[in-house]
Homo-oligomer: A and B are copies of this chain.
Amino acid sequence: MPRPTSALALGGAFVTTLLLAGPTTAQDYDPEARLAEMGITLPEGRVEGRMFNQAVQTGNLVFTSGHAPCGEWPEEAGEFRGRGKVPSEVSTEMAQLAARQVVVCTLANLKAHLGDLSRVTRVVRVFGMVNSDADFTGQSGVMNAASQLLMDVFGEERGRHVRSAVGMVSLPVGLTVEIEMVFEVENN
């Protein structure tokens, strides 16, 4: 005896509607194409380091190490390469460029782990550490550059994460920004 139309079948119809609905469809989900459209080239990534890894997967979560910036810096960065304290040595605007390049570097290493960034189903957590003077209170503004880039690349729905933006008294090699993340990915 045939089973009646089930909730699952209705779910299927709903998914079909979503797929036809425009810019937020699964078909359009291509983070690497989005990076290319934005003129961002990921540098060659690498998972394994000497003392620790840049990414470790457990279940369908990928944890990434606290990253430094890398990749090609935009012209407005001038000679700045992401070192120094905010704001006594580095302006908020420059720190935002650093935050952005830290995301670029994280995505490069994440791609080395995943093969393709379209396997990311959700950016879960962003922990943004800004090398700060004791009276600097603009860490959120600095980290907005990272959050915006993640939403631009992964889309509003998958790119939206929880975030902490905090002030560190100092960071390795004098980094301006170090970011640690957690991503949810498709099961293998």
Given A167-B169, A170-B133 in contact, is the A127-B180 Cβ separation under 8 Å? yes
Instruction: Say if the beta carbon of A55 comes within 8 Å of chain B.
Output: yes
A66→B165 contact, CB < 8 A: yes
The size bracket of the interface on A is 35 or more
A166→B59 contact, CB < 8 A: no
Partner of A167, one of B136, B138, B147, B168: B168
Copies of this polypeptide in the complex: 3
Q: Mark A61-85, 1 if CB is under 8 A from B, else 0.
A: 1011110000000000000000001
B160→A56 contact, CB < 8 A: yes
Instruction: Say if the beta carbon of A98 comes within 8 Å of chain B.
Output: no
A165→B161 contact, CB < 8 A: no
A173→B137 contact, CB < 8 A: yes
Instruction: Say if the beta carbon of A8 comes within 8 Å of chain B.
Output: no
Given A137-B172, A169-B168, A173-B137 in contact, is the A147-B52 Cβ separation under 8 Å? yes
CB distance from A48 to the nearest CB of B (A): 7
Q: Which of A106-140 contact B (CB under 8 A)?
A: 122, 124-127, 129, 132-140
CB distance from A82 to the nearest CB of B (A): 13
Instruction: Say if the beta carbon of A148 comes within 8 Å of chain B.
Output: yes
Residues of B contacting A163 with CB < 8 Å?
51-52, 65-66
